Amino acid sequence: MARMTYLQAISDALRYEMRRDPSVFILGEDIGVFGGAFKVTQGFLEEFGPERVIDTPISESGFTGAACAAATVGFRPVVEFQFIDFISCAFDQIVNYAGKCYYRWGIPMPVVFRGPCGGGVHAGPYHSQNPEAWFAHAPGLKVVLPATAKDAKGLLIAAIRDNNPVIYLENKFLYRHYREEVPEGEYVVPIGLAALRTIGQDLSIISYGATVHLCVAAARQLEREGASVEVVDLRSLVPLDKQTILDSVKKTNKVLIVHEANLTAGFGAEVAALISHEAFEYLDGPIMRVASLDVPSPFSPTLEMAMIPTVDKILEAARYLLAY
């Protein structure tokens, strides 16, 4: 075990897989000479060389298409988007090509699309988005969002080894704000399994990504107030661990769903629909959601905090449900 930040765990996973498998290579803007905008790939160019650490032009559609082509002939490319907001420039390549290759031709498409998402760092409307619902809606893609450093490493290794295209979203606020003991060497977290971050009987809070930590903080506060709260970290949206969600709901009978993406048509609505359809008779209160407001992310720190989920907002909704 080694103590790592969330960012270091991602870097460690990439380095491990590139050392293990020569078919793995990485490409993106400024990932080579500069070492990545957030320094995830610092030192990679010196170790692996320019044929496996490829600095690209500012053309997301172009280098995403190149990665997809490489995947069709046996390589395992990892595409880094400098900020995940820019993935929209490559939407056609990902949704209409990568996501449909196996369905149309029966060929694997082992490519990972990764990059920093989320707010909390006052980066404004073009560098703070959470686009997971776009890709969860597109058949053929897997979507994962690690909340911890251990999961950041284990899920990335699993994503690189997967024969399907994987959208791997890493929250930039967690990069250097979160650290823990992470297994060294081989460590794989299976895609499609949720994790319980706290165990409780009175309320289920279902979340993923950076907001998991806010939910755990809220659960600890509610515990001091006498409530028993279970926090479910989805870790993977596609495939979704439906059984863990339903088991938790059937135990606690009350549900709060929390995510940083904006509320309307966010992935929380899909979770709410699942619960309503398959566990309605177990509910003792309305399914509630806490998410970001339906506006672009502002630069102003005060306005941004008013827009995104906070511990206080989660506590307000949780207390309402507990008293319902």
Active site residues: 127
Amino acid of residue 174: L
**For the chain, how long is the longest CA-to-CA vector?**
60
Helix (H, G, I), strand (E, B) or coil at 106: coil
Q: What are phi and psi of 317, to 5 degrees?
A: -70, -40
Pairwise CA distance, residues 108 & 260, whole Å: 32
Pairwise CA distance, residues 8 & 12, whole Å: 6
Give the residue from 85, 17, 86 showing the smallest Cα distance to 56.
86
Please name the residues in contact with 244: beta carbons below 8 A apart, sequence gap of 6 or more: 193, 194, 196, 232
- Count of alpha carbons within 13 Å of 202, Cβ hemisphere only? 15
Please name the residues in contact with 260: beta carbons below 8 A apart, sequence gap of 6 or more: 118, 119, 130, 171, 209, 210, 211, 291, 292, 308, 309
Helix (H, G, I), strand (E, B) or coil at 102: helix
